[in-house]
Amino acid sequence: MDIILNILVCFGLISVGLAFIVLLPVVGNLLVSVFSTVYGEQAFSRFKGIESGSVLVTPEAPPPPEPKVEDHGHQPTPLNVYLAVYGALLVLTVVTVGVSELGLIQREAVFWAVVVATMKGTLVVAWFMHMKGGPAMNRLILGTTLFFMLIFFTLTMADLSTRDTIFEHEAHWTTIKEAQYSGAKPAGWSAKGTAAAE
Amino acid sequence: MSAKESTEERPPWVAHFFASADQQRSAANFGMWLFIGQEVLFFSGLFMAYIAYRWLYPDTWLSGADVLNKWLGAGNTVVLLTSSLTMVLAVRELELNRIKQSVRYLWVTVAFGFVFLGVKAVEYASKFELGIYPGAHYEAGEVEGMAGLFFGIYYTLTALHALHVIIGMGLLAWVAILVKKEKVTAENNSLLENIGLYWHLVDLVWIFLFPMLYLVR
């Protein structure tokens, strides 16, 4: 059982590492493209103005292009969408309470509770908080937050769940060392290793 | 000439360091999402405490959750979900320039906040009757194991969440007055939208707290 858990934890760590390596360029590109669309042209035109020596305003200069901001919230979401999301949230609340009444074993109960809560959270974030159709930067912020939360949870649980094994090993070696110092031979101990070292 | 014209065109509520109203709006939205990310990380520390101690003392969690009334928790979930709906409707009504309806929805949202806190107070009172006080004042003997630990985490999580509800209700009342006075309008609704985001965050935290504390046993 412990071995399976350790393997799972290792897989978790490896996938976090891989995700980090894979995500970094993607995230970096996204960051650059978002920044350049929102602030690029404006900042660029300002720098050009300073370089040419004419401070701030050149008479013939065309007006600076309007910074492109992703349009959000101008067209109100239809009422039906909000009501549908609300209905789905209520149904999922009933589902999660219903699942808890089934008397599942703890592991399954935790699994389904987390799955349903994540679905509800996604609904709230996507439609009520307008993550859907909103600026890409918001997705980046929440994604980064959740990613670091995952690292936090994984590393802490990797420590907690493997501590017993480490203590067991330490106890094992202490017994052997104590036996060695007192000159006795503990069960299952061959003196081959120590003899070679001496 | 062009510079002067543009300053005349821009609405008075756009701060001088923003190029346009749209830029101010997107900056406000960006800042609010950074704050939300920070809030999620802040709560993740408490969730981590919950997960770690649940891992170390699984039996305590099973017996501890039995004391909580899951129907009150479920009722509070419905209350908060409904308040989230009235919140988005308040934002939507203002976008459609229906000020009166928007203000009405905002006060309804505040009222749901009061209902939530009322149910919470009933729950706390029933725990106190059993001698389940927070932290070192824990006196109940009915629950086995390290029950004080479970209820310590229960009180910390729910009380911090309730604090967020109270702050959110204050902000909602404030923005309701501003909408009524037409300081916050259909064009200049960043404040209302951001307070709405905050309220949804409060809802979001509860969506995860409810099954973790009340249901999983």
| Per-residue model confidence as pLDDT tens digits over B127-182 | 888 878 877 677 766 555 577 788 889 999 999 999 999 999 999 999 999 999 99
What is the residue range of A36's domain?
A: 10-51
Closest Cα of chain B to A18: distance in Å? 22
Question: pTM to 2 decimals?
Answer: 0.75
Determine how many CB atoms are found less than 10 A away from the CB of residue B209: 23
In a domain, A62, yes or no: no
pLDDT, one tens digit per residue, over B88-119 is 999 999 999 999 999 999 999 999 999 999 99
> What pLDDT band is residue A34 in, cutting at 50, 70 and 90?
low
pLDDT, one tens digit per residue, over A146-170 is 999 999 999 999 888 888 888 788 7
Judge whether B203 and B84 are in contact, CB under 8 Å.
Answer: yes
Judge whether A34 and B29 are in contact, CB under 8 Å.
Answer: no
CATH number, position B190: 1.20.120.80
pLDDT, one tens digit per residue, over A60-94 is 656 556 555 544 446 788 899 999 999 999 999 99
Contact: B211, A117; criterion CB under 8 Å:
yes
In a domain, B203, yes or no: yes
For residue A53, the model assigns a pLDDT of 44
Nearest by CB to A97, from B212, B215, B217: name it.
B215
- Which of B20, B29, B48 should one mutate to test binding to chain A, selecting the residue with the greatest count of A CBs within 10 A? B29
In a domain, A91, yes or no: no
Structure token digits, residue B125 = 């009172």
- Which of B47, B48, B61, B81 should one mutate to test binding to chain A, selecting the residue with the greatest count of A CBs within 10 A? B81
Closest Cα of chain B to A31: distance in Å? 13
In a domain, B184, yes or no: yes
For residue B133, the model assigns a pLDDT of 80
In a domain, A43, yes or no: yes
In a domain, B9, yes or no: no
In a domain, A101, yes or no: no
In a domain, A17, yes or no: yes
Number of structural domains in chain B: 1
What is the residue range of B145's domain?
A: 21-214
pLDDT, one tens digit per residue, over B65-83 is 788 899 999 999 999 999 9
Number of structural domains in chain A: 1
Count of all residues that appear for chain A in the document:
198
Structure token digits, residue B53 = 């101690």
In a domain, B3, yes or no: no
A138 in reach of chain B (CB within 8 A): yes
Q: Is B194 helix (H, G, I), strand (E, B) or coil?
A: helix
| Closest-approach residue (CA) in chain B for A84 | B85
| Among A55, A30, A1, A43, residue whose Cα is nearest residue A135 | A30
For residue B124, pLDDT over 70 is answered with yes
Give just the sign of the alpha carbon dihedral A165, A166, A169, A175.
Answer: negative
In a domain, A37, yes or no: yes
- Which of A85, A129, A146, A147 should one mutate to test binding to chain B, selecting the residue with the greatest count of B CBs within 10 A? A129
For residue A41, pLDDT over 70 is answered with no
In a domain, A65, yes or no: no
pLDDT, one tens digit per residue, over B10-32 is 888 898 899 888 899 999 999 99
In a domain, B5, yes or no: no
In a domain, B7, yes or no: no
B212 in reach of chain A (CB within 8 A): yes
Nearest by CB to B203, from A42, A124, A142: name it.
A124
Contact: B85, A86; criterion CB under 8 Å:
yes
